[in-house]
A and B are shown apart, each in its own frame.
Chain A
Amino acid sequence: MGEFKVHRVRFFDYMPSGIRALAFNRGTERLAVARDQGSVELFNFPDNYCQEKVIPGRDGRSVEALCWVGSRLFSVGLDGLITEYDLDNLRPKYTVEAYGGPVWSISCNLEGNLLAVGCEDGTVKIFEVLDDRIQFQRNLDRQKGRIISVSWHPSGTKIAAGMMDMIRIFDAETGHAIHRLLVERGVGTAKNREVVVWSLAYLSDNTIISADSAGKVQIWDGLTGTLIRSHYITKWDVLALSVAHDESSLIAGTSEGTVVQFQFLSSGEQQDKEWIRTRTFKNHTHDVRALVLTDIAVVSGGMDTQLVVRPLLDKVEKNTAESALRKIVFPFKSLVSCAKKAGLLLFQFPDHLEVWRLGESEGYGKPGECLLIKRKPEKLIHLKRKGEDHICSSALSPCGSWLAYSTTSSVRLYRLQHSGNNISISKVSKLPKFLCSAHQLCFSPDSTKLFASSTQSSVIVISLGQSECKYVHTLATKSGSRQPVHLLAPSEDGKWLATANTDCEVHVYNLNKLKLHCTVPVYGSCPTAIAIHPMTSNLVIVHADKQVFEFSLGQKEYTEWSRKLQKQGLHPHWLERDTPISHIFFNPKNSNHIIMHDVYMLCVIDQSLPFPDPKTRLYNQMSLRGLPEAERVRHSHAFKICKSFQDVLSVISLEDQSLVIVERPLLDIMSQLPAPVLQKKFAT
């Protein structure tokens, strides 16, 4: 018989939102990604492209462009506001009205003290960046027509602004326009349409690169205001541009989903370099809306919601983890929670929550067989959120009678009452005042406590009672970390609570004493999943770089197994996997089994077996099957990997020895996207 009965859940209609803007901070190597629904995500590139933080969106907020100023992140949107984000508390810090109608673009000068924003009313507004806010300084000469794109010259003396049908160059000191570069319209019917200069880059040698809606990438001499070269790269729009830091290469993204690279090469003996179109990358099916060219990779995002990191093979070592193409589709944070005892699933959407009851099946079957469904899964509750802020976290208690969600402004707790097949929901009205916002919510296994991660790495503990909910304690660390806790893992016996924050700290609290029990030595990579073993009370931690640690809470040290694993090192194939381990749990029947999963596989780590030899294959299930029994024992190793489930959002083990695997096939997401631009394909 099979090990587990699996509920294969495919009714979670999770739909990621399209990528609108990207901004890369070279200092901290963080990438900020803005999505259509207004949320902003931060990716830590050195740490395996790990998604560190998510700032939830808000109804009516749109982000059109992002800009890093030092380690501060600003955004502008068509709502006419300039927003600075509080990256510690994952919320907008403040907004400033630009008073110029919708704002299309934002650009910061090299010194980082001035911001230029391009507005619908035709003004480029200069804002001064102060320590705690920004202040309007002045307007540049007002133009007719909207300012779509803005770019500073690295010297800070000139600003180029892309408009409809033209590019203007301003003197940043006087605010007067110096040059007017007319951009040619498209041919044919496009002749009657204004051409939009979607993106601009002002290089230090006074070259201006423009990308426009007529499918051209044009290279201008900014001193004389003349066109040097024009490259037609698509029949549709060129939406985004990004120039490498050393200005030797640039990329342009088109509506066809292609990214075209240009390189500044000298073609002959005489050292006159010119921009030459070189490579074309096609990793998107839809518009490429935003691009970043880092030192080693092309990062692109667009309507098809995927963030693609395509390493430049001339800049990285070949055939390493670094040279692999990465497509980041799913959020790292779990959007599914499960009532293990009641068999209920909670799905989190930005604007509502859904509670489903799992189906039931009849009897038993052979391994790998589909069981007959006795009762279909059923949607019990569709809970719309209150307020304009999007839901950032949610939780369902194991008993299935409590439901909590949080936005950046409030936390709401609901009681679910089951009576037969009916279910009723009632809001718990009185919540402690401390609980105004939570980055992460979690119920204790016995459903008597709610843990909410709060500011400065603290965790608020609330006891849940029939009558009222009481604030119990705030678990705080002495490390002084300002980063929010993004992982909460209570132990099964209710004694321990492990927390992890984005400063890579893992703390364990004793819930009985409400005290910090110990701190796991800080490892340089962000933890992506933590769990406490119900029997041995060992804490298992998996980091973004796929390293697995086991920490004994009793001895307050790494276990023997963990040391052995670190000594021998993990299998290279394991380390090369490009999606993070998102969840850890334990096989209740076999205490040696640690089960973890990422988007493409489910892995059972058997602590009783030897570690795999780096030279042998990691996925040896198929070859093992062909071997005789005796041989099989000799060849089997600790990592047993199951790949029969793809695009896995979440795997949860229920009380009754069954697993719930929530899949969201990429094809389903693709089919819900709008139609891409029409392209003639050869031989069709």
Chain B
Amino acid sequence: MPNLEHPAYPASALLQLESLVPCRESQVSMLLSIFGERQQFSFPSIFIYGHTASGKTYVMQTLLNTLKLPHVFVNCVEYFTSRLLLEEILMQLQSHSSETQQTSHVPCENFNDFVRLFKQAVASRELQDQTVYIVLDRAEQLREMEANILPAFLRLQELTDKNVTVVLLTEIVWELFRPNNGCFEPLTLYFPDYSIAHLQKILSQNHPPEYSADFYAAYINILLGVFYMVCRDLKELQHLAVLNFSKYCEPVVRGEANERDTHKLWKNIEPHLKKAMQTVYLREISSSQWERLQHDNGEPGPLKGLSAHTHVELPYYSKFLLIAAYLASYNPARTDKRFFLKHHGKIRKTNSIKKHEKTSSHLIGPKPFPLDRLLAILYSIVDNRVAPTANIFSQITSLVTLQLLSVVGRNDQLDGPRYKCTVSLDFIRAVAR
């Protein structure tokens, strides 16, 4: 295990940092060596990527906080326009040092203003001798803002002529960011996924105070054994661990087993965890419902999950409309005559061709069809006469709002609208019953 060493920072702070970021020592030391000393100019922009919950945000935050480096931390999802983003950065910058004076709202329309205001802010706060870090979390959102934002952030140091470093955090690789007309290449840094040993170590670290660390570690071991196959997301695992821990402790609380009796505990918890995997992990039932279920302890009948209520009640004609739409989407138009007319022509096709069609039509997905065809099929599948009243038409639009049908190519209202059926075969089967 490489110990963190850096001449510029006090050893105590480094030690604390090391204890806070387990399994990320190499990344942290790399970052530290890039950052250099406080007053040294650092690399203008750093690009950090890695899979979900690999500790990018957390490492950045703890690093900057424990070493008390001046920084700004913004989430690009939250500040969804460039203007909001820039203003937020300036606001945070202002509030950093000048606690005494109230932060005032500065309007900042574009990047030019930003550069100007940024210079002012940095100059006014005697920060020239320190590197200011701007961390942009979920930086993939930057690509959807104005075209100049991303390249400008990458060379902010050059533009402002100040000691500043921009750190981008994201889940996707740099190649997907690179604009067409080229830009300053940032320093890329990869955060690998945690391994199972890492997960074990991190999860066992924050054990509840009532129980010993070993006991909790054993529990985490069991939990990982069940869930590691399906889920490697640290956050998700943490959530599950918290939810199921009380159940695990139950025999101990009742006095049936002591903390060392792992086998007994394992027997107790295992079916429970399996059930959790089927329900809570998929968010079929919410965690509060799950807790209540644990509280009741007994089995008050299986709690209905979200997917249990798949049945949809539809009015009589809506059902037929939906079925007609499904038929129109998945059958080629030329077979209509054969299916829906009483005196259809001879079926000449060989079996093999038909089979080929049948498999492919579901793989290709629904095809659009005009309104007239839908109505024609409707008339032929409904037994009694249906008048084309306004009610029928309004039902079609209400099906569209329910996202059971979707409109294809709505540019011309006059032209007969074309629809697509978006529901699955199972759904149609349920409706048709």
Asked if chains A and B come from one complex, the reply is no
